[in-house]
């Protein structure tokens, strides 16, 4: 899967980020995870392999990646614990039962939509749950002055990620920290919870 992702430029978590997240999940010991952004199913499969009782709902909108995700999930033997929802995560919220709660929500999709994903799915977070956002340092570019970036689309994306990070760090309901590993991982926990 890593080779396929590298060859076809599919954005999956890099090894350092993935290992860090698995270590974090060992501390959390989740029973349920919502993953926004499946790509080819890499993260879901790695998480399912590490936690034999874990159930994952994952979302993907790219038709080509959905086909590969179904293939890899089917081959992995974890299809009974990984449920793939097809479509844009901004429109799939109605497919989740209102009373469904996740121990972890993992955001790893369109970086410019992170705030919307957070706000849309946060009501599905279990009482002591954690929201993990990947790629929040965007190759270190969020530390730079976005106005100095020549590429207009990249500049706009950098600004959106910077705004998300600032919003996250100042969120009145969450304590968040950004770990500079992989492409940057933000961990957000509801305030007042241990």
16 marked among binding-site residues: no
60 marked among binding-site residues: yes
Residue 4 has φ and ψ, to the nearest 5°, of -60, -45
Distance from C-alpha of 90 to C-alpha of 65, rounded to nearest angstrom: 18
89 marked among binding-site residues: yes
- Beta-bridged to residue 90, according to DSSP, are none
* Inter-residue contact 33 to 60 (CB < 8 Å): no
Look up tokens 């929201």; give the residue. Answer: 131
175 marked among binding-site residues: no
Tokens of 183: 């492409």
* Inter-residue contact 36 to 63 (CB < 8 Å): no
43 marked among binding-site residues: yes
Distance from C-alpha of 95 to C-alpha of 106, rounded to nearest angstrom: 17
* Inter-residue contact 122 to 105 (CB < 8 Å): yes
Q: How far apart are the first and last CA of the chain?
A: 36
134 marked among binding-site residues: yes
Residues at the binding site for Mg(2+) are 108, 134-135
Residues at the binding site are 13, 43, 60, 88-89, 108, 134-135
Residues at the binding site for S-adenosyl-L-methionine are 13, 43, 60, 88-89, 108
């Amino acid at each position: 899967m890593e080779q396929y992702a590298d060859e076809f430029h599919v954005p999956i978590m890099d090894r350092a980020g993935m290992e860090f997240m698995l270590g974090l999940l060992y501390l959390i010991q989740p029973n349920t995870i919502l993953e926004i952004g499946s790509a080819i199913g890499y993260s879901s499969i790695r998480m399912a392999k590490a936690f034999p009782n874990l159930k994952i709902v994952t979302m993907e909108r790219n038709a080509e990646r959905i086909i590969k995700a179904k293939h890899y999930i089917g081959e992995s033997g974890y299809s009974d614990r990984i449920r793939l929802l097809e479509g844009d995560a901004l429109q799939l919220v109605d497919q989740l039962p209102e009373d469904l709660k996740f121990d972890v929500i993992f955001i790893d999709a369109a970086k410019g939509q992170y705030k919307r994903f957070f706000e849309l799915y946060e009501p599905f977070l279990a009482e002591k749950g954690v929201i993990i956002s990947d790629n929040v340092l965007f190759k270190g570019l969020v530390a730079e002055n976005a106005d100095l970036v020549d590429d207009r689309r990249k500049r706009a994306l950098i600004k959106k990620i910077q705004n998300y990070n600032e919003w996250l760090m100042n969120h009145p309901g969450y304590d968040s920290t950004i770990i500079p590993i992989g492409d940057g991982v933000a961990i957000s926990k509801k305030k007042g919870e241990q």
